[in-house]
Amino acid sequence: MNKPIKRSWAEPYKIKMVELIKMTSPAERRKALQEAGYNTFLLKSADVYIDLLTDSGTSAMSDRQWAGMMLGDEAYAGSRNFYHLEEVVKDVYGYKYLIPTHQGRGAENILSKILIKKGDIIPGNMYFTTTRLHQELAGGKFEDVIIDEAHDSESEYPFKGNIDLEKLDKLVKKHGAEKIPYVSMATSVNMAGGQPISMQNLKDLRKYTKKHGIRVIHDMTRVAENAYFIQQREKGYADKTIKEIVKEICSYTDGATMSAKKDALVNIGGFLAVNDWDVFEEARNMVVVYEGLHTYGGLAGRDMEAMAIGIGESVGDDHIKARVGQVIYLGEKMIEYGVPIVKPIGGHGIFVDAKQFLPHIPQDMYPAQTLAAEIYQDSGVRTMERGIVSAGRKANGDNYCPKLELVRFTIPRRVYTQAHMDVIAESTARVFERREKIKGMKMIYEPKYLRFFQARFEKIK
Ligand code: F0G
């Protein structure tokens, strides 16, 4: 009997230009890995076949975005592209005031410096590397208030990005609301596997924080992907458009930091957006110190134009359905091969559970880092570690030991085909078959900040 044909989405675009990529031999990859200290961040892109290191800045722009690049107004002050971007941010996200920045962390730096005082506590739904570091550098301490399910790769809870309001309330009772400048709320929680927060949870959070006079700052890097899961899973949202859902999400928050290199389909760019005039005024002043004048914030006029157009495309229903559909396609293949992955499948990539994949390698021998190196060795597919190396060290020097020890297969938007997804799943399955022979690694060089980017490793003999 024939299986029913399952085809629920296809790319809402066709390909106008291609970029050639190179296949390498196992010997070439072995040498490249050695030279990179077994850290996939240190590989040269030319040695990579399919690049799943990140979905950040790696998406394909549309013909309209490229056409927009030609409309760049490179005036130092008051570029017309800035005003276009400002209008789009207001229209799509609803935030009143905009400060462009060179990328997300530029916005995090400015916001943290303005809102955080020494000794402050910043609760959030799981840390993100750069976000937490800027909070710490500003004198604050991050406290994780995500629901417990988020730390369990097996839990199929549909909104693993939700905030546990009891955990938040405990912090407020312990430290007092005046010590909490804002709740750091991310949509599509990256480190949890691209897991969404529900609209109901956001509404409850808004109600609670309003009562206590605490701001909600939104890390909206992947807000459209979160909106897709709300549309698919949450009661009352099936008939709403992604654009409507995105705007509603933003309406429960006071401001946002954005890395436009993800959702917004550009290769560089970001912004800080706020509703509060006082915060805006301070940010507008500070951006000239760290980024550039407040009407360009480290970006060229053409970058702002591409971003304005990309934001519009990013909230298209067909776009997001195909984008997340491709991620789900890869995840389902992995599951078919028996590869342990974080469930439910998230919005921007597949997160392989390295603790389950390599149960014989203890966490201090870097199972996820090891697995990322093994997958590159097998097929030239580049992934990245999201486990103990990414988590880094606490202020007192101890390692953070996250429950989740993951390898992230991040899918760039509009870049790879279904055949590429098949190659990726097949390679992972091959490594899975020989998993028992894989040994761990030791770290031989550790930089002080964000060590995962530049650390070096050696194989344990
Ligand atoms: N917030 C989230 C949730 C992110 O995923 C990132 C970047 C940032 C903030 C910082 O933005 O890179 O533009 O400065 N994430 C990339 C990644 C690096 O690969 O996940 P940025």
Q: Take atom 19 of ligand 1 and give the residue whose Cα is closest.
A: 54
Domains and CATH numbers, the chain: 26-55+317-459 (3.90.1150.10), 63-314 (3.40.640.10)
Respond yes or no: is residue 41 known to be catalytic: no
Q: How far apart are CA 337 and CA 228, in angstroms?
A: 27
Give the pLDDT band (50/70/90) at residue 7. low
Cα distances (angstroms) measured from residue 47 to each of 267, 371, 453: 21, 18, 18
What is the DSSP code string of 39-51?
-GGGS-GGG-SEE
Residue showing tokens 């209008």: 87
Question: Is 142 one of the catalytic residues?
Answer: no
- Yes or no: say if 347 and 161 are a contact pair by the CB < 8 Å rule: no
Band of pLDDT at residue 1, cut at 50, 70 and 90:
low
Ligand 1 mean position, distance from CA 236 (Å): 31
Placement of tokens 């995962």 in the chain: 452
Whether ligand 1 lies within 6 angstroms of the CB of 348 is answered as no
Spatial distance between the Cα atoms of 245 and 236, rounded to a whole number of angstroms: 11
Paired with 457 in beta bridges are: 443
**Structure confidence at residue 74 (pLDDT):** 98
One-letter amino acid at 222 equals R
* Confidence at 8, pLDDT banded by 50, 70, 90: confident
Catalytic residue among 51, 55, 164, 219: 219
* pLDDT surpassing 60 at residue 328: yes
Q: What are the φ and ψ backbone dihedral angles of 392, each rounded to 5 degrees? A: 70, -155
- Whether residue 272 contacts residue 257, with contact meaning beta carbons closer than 8 Å, is answered with yes
**Secondary structure (DSSP) of 91-149:** III--SEEEEESSHHHHHHHHHHHH--TT-EEEESS--HHHHHHHHHTT-EEEE-B-GG
pLDDT tens string 423-453: 999 999 999 999 999 999 999 999 988 999 9
- Tell me the pLDDT band of 2, cut-offs 50, 70 and 90: low
* ∠ CA 393-106-283, rounded to 5°: 120
**In which band, very low, low, confident or very high, does the pLDDT at 364 lie, cut at 50, 70 and 90?**
very high
Which protein residue has the closest C-alpha to ligand 1 atom 21? 104
pLDDT in the model for residue 395: 81
* Phi, psi of 161, rounded to the nearest 5 degrees: -90, 0
The C-alpha R_g of the chain, in whole angstroms, comes to 21
Of 384, 434, 326, 390, nearest to 133 (Cα)? 390
Q: State yes or no: is 386 an active-site residue.
A: yes
Per-residue pLDDT reduced to its tens digit, 19-69: 999 899 999 999 999 999 999 999 999 999 999 999 999 999 999 999 999
On whether the pTM is more than 0.75, the answer is: yes
Residue 60's SS3 state is: coil
Reading the block at residue 142, the tokens are 């991050």
Q: What is the mean pLDDT of residues 67-96?
A: 98
- Cα–Cα dist 190/280, whole Å: 27
For this structure, is 219 an active site residue? yes
Whether 262 is catalytic is yes
Residue 4, pLDDT > 80, answer: no
- CA torsion sign for 85, 87, 89, 91 is negative
Q: Rounded to an integer, what distance in angstroms lies between the CA atom of residue 28 and that of residue 337?
A: 27
Peptide bond into 344 cis (omega under 30): yes
Q: Give one DSSP letter per residue of 294-353, joined into a string.
A: TTTTT--HHHHHHHHHHHHHHT-HHHHHHHHHHHHHHHHHHHHTT--B-SS--SSEEEEE
Return the pLDDT at 9.
82
Assess whether the C-beta atom of 104 lies below 6 angstroms from ligand 1: yes
> What angle separates helix 223-233 from helix 242-251, to the nearest 10 degrees?
110
Ligand 1 neighbour 219 (Cβ under 6 A): yes
Distance CA 48, CA 379 (A): 9
Summarised one tens digit per residue, pLDDT across range 257-281 is 999 999 999 999 999 999 999 999 9
Catalytic residue among 63, 76, 174, 439: 76
Tell which one of 109, 132, 189, 190 to mutate to probe ligand 1, the residue whose CB is within 8 A of the most ligand atoms.
Answer: 190
Classify residue 15 by burial, with Cβ atoms within 10 Å: 0-12, 13-18, 19+. exposed
Cα dihedral 222, 249, 160, 413, rounded to 10, equals -20
DSSP state of 163: B
Ligand 1 contact, 112 CB (< 6 A): no
pLDDT tens profile 93-140: 999 999 999 999 999 999 999 999 999 999 999 999 999 999 999 999
Residue 394 is predicted with a pLDDT of 86
Assess whether the C-beta atom of 54 lies below 6 angstroms from ligand 1: yes
Q: What's the number of CA atoms in the CB half-sphere (13 Å) around residue 118?
A: 0
C-alpha span between 215 and 314 (Å, rounded): 26
Helix, strand, coil % (nearest 5) of the chain?
45, 15, 40
Query: Residues 302-332, buried b or exposed e (16+ Cβ, 10 A)?
Result: bbbbbbbbbbbbbbbbebbbbbbebbbbbbe
Nearest to 215 by CA among 185, 181, 249, 186: 181
pLDDT band with cut points at 50, 70 and 90 for residue 76: very high
Question: Is residue 76 annotated as part of the catalytic site, yes or no?
Answer: yes
- For ligand 1, is residue 186 a contact (CB within 6 Å)? yes
Spatial strand order in the sheet of 97-101 = 97-101, 270-274, 255-259, 215-219, 182-186, 121-124, 141-144
Q: Which residue has the tokens 């097998």?
A: 378
